[in-house]
Amino acid sequence: MGDVNGRNSVAWGSTELVADNWTPPTPPHEIADDSDASRAWYAEQKALHLNDEQPDLLVGMRNGAWLDQQTFPPLRYAVPGVVPEGFSLLVGPPKAGKSWLVLAFGLAIASGGRALGSIDVGPPRPVLYLALEDGDRRLQERCRQLLERDPIPERLHYMTRIMPGKVLQTLEAWLAHHGHDSPLLVLDTLGRTMPPALQGETTYSRDYRIGAALKRLVDDHPGASLLVNHHDRKASSDDFVDAVSGTNGLAGSADTIIVLARPRNQRDGQLKITGRDVPEGEYAVSFNDAAWQLDGRDLAEAAQRAREQKVTAGLGDRSADVAAYVMSNPKGVRAAEVALALGIDQATARVYLARLYDADRIERAGRGLYGPPIPPVTSVTSVTSEDVEPLERNTNNTRNTPSRGADEIPEDPALDEARRRHEDAEDASPQELAPTASSGGELAPSIEQLALGDTATHPPEGDPA
């Protein structure tokens, strides 16, 4: 079955993906896309292939001068900053709320409303929702719960069953009617339609083949977004991309990966996003009455909340309060400010700040000044508000140790007292620190000397004692 442009389509058979291993070359630049000339050119190239005649393999080659003269439309989003055009994977554990999230996206786009409570998705556009794990009644109940008093939008098209092995053809048939309207397509879930590997095919090759077929399908319709629900791996990893179930073939074929993380029986979670064209980010979200919402007025605030959650995770109440106060002051705070804000004495504030710094939870910007961790670099300004000027990290710290919670650091009264006395010296003015005749010329002892009880001063070598 050919697509609307005359290109060869990829058929998903009852148990496998059937392809003829032929990809048509790119047409000459003078042939416009989606034109009669384009369709005729593809038909000719296909005929050459079927007749075992070798087509001109370099016919679609272009040069840098041609590329430099082109003007391409900007990247389009189904949900700005979250779901761009192309093939996206939404990954999360079972029953974490993925289906609620994609349904809410679909309703917002079909009605021209807001996604995640605060993201304007633009004018209404068509949506196809393949809700293969739901029925009509459940889908109606969920739509009414999310929409409250609003009617279910007409532009939301859905199917709860499709012909076995025909998911690609189903998506392709719908795109033939709506592909020019920057639509959203949702496949929920991939596991319902994933075919087995071909004979002699590795699991990685199967995963990449399926992912590449989905990507090729949506790439033929610029502006269209395909969002595929998929379960995560049970094993944990420092890299959230590793959460994608299966091999790296599936993750590698996707344009964008979105991970929904929420502890069981907890309301708060995070959306973690990375991709070829989108800024990498982590955003705090909450699951309230089946509706996902940003924790903040926009993505920038949600990203700040996510950083706060990471800094305060696993801490005791007092440490979490101190960390949260530091996170809320991107320009940095001193122990005196923390003490005043939290109603604790200044010495205690210094100890907590030092512990949080030792645990890599906060940054040290200068003498007695602490601030939030350096935020991740973003490349798309449209999804962020004012960037916070990052605080410099003390690069003299060359420890290669894992980050610990501030409350996990063993208490050492001598070391805590050393920190207090050392930071008293750091907070002092240069005049206070300068040695004087009345002080005997002694400098403030280092923190190591204080911790070891070695407070004696030693003259430089060669000087009389």
What is the model's pLDDT at position 454?
Answer: 37
Phi/psi for 361 (5° steps) reads -90, -30
Please tell me the least confidently modeled range out of 141-145, 171-175, 331-335: 331-335
Inform me whether the pLDDT recorded for 434 exceeds 50. Answer: no
d(CA 304, CA 289): 24
Inform me whether the pLDDT recorded for 140 exceeds 80. Answer: yes
Name the band, by pLDDT with cuts 50, 70 and 90, for residue 238. Answer: low
- Report percent pLDDT > 70 for the chain: 68
Please tell me the least confidently modeled range out of 49-53, 198-202, 232-236, 327-331: 232-236
d(CA 118, CA 375): 22
- For 293-307, write each residue's pLDDT tens digit: 999 999 999 998 898
- 81 DSSP assignment: T
- For 198-235, write each residue's pLDDT tens digit: 888 888 888 888 899 999 999 999 999 999 998 765 54
- Report percent pLDDT > 90 for the chain: 38
d(CA 241, CA 89): 10
Q: Which of 360, 368, 253 is nearest to 311 (CA)?
A: 360
Please tell me the least confidently modeled range out of 69-73, 76-80, 238-242, 397-401: 397-401
Inform me whether the pLDDT recorded for 180 exceeds 90. Answer: yes
Inform me whether the pLDDT recorded for 187 exceeds 60. Answer: yes
What is the pTM assigned to this prediction? 0.66
Antiparallel, parallel or unpaired: β 127-131 and 156-159: parallel
Please tell me the least confidently modeled range out of 101-110, 121-130, 378-387: 378-387
What is the model's pLDDT at position 236?
Answer: 55
d(CA 131, CA 276): 27
- Residue 361: Cβ-neighbour burial (10 angstroms; 0-12, 13-18, 19+): buried
Q: Which of 207, 269, 273 is nearest to 241 (CA)?
A: 273
CA angle 105-109-110, nearest 5°?
Answer: 115
What domains can you pick out in the chain, each with its CATH number?
A: 11-69 (no CATH), 77-295 (3.40.50.300), 314-417 (1.10.10.10)
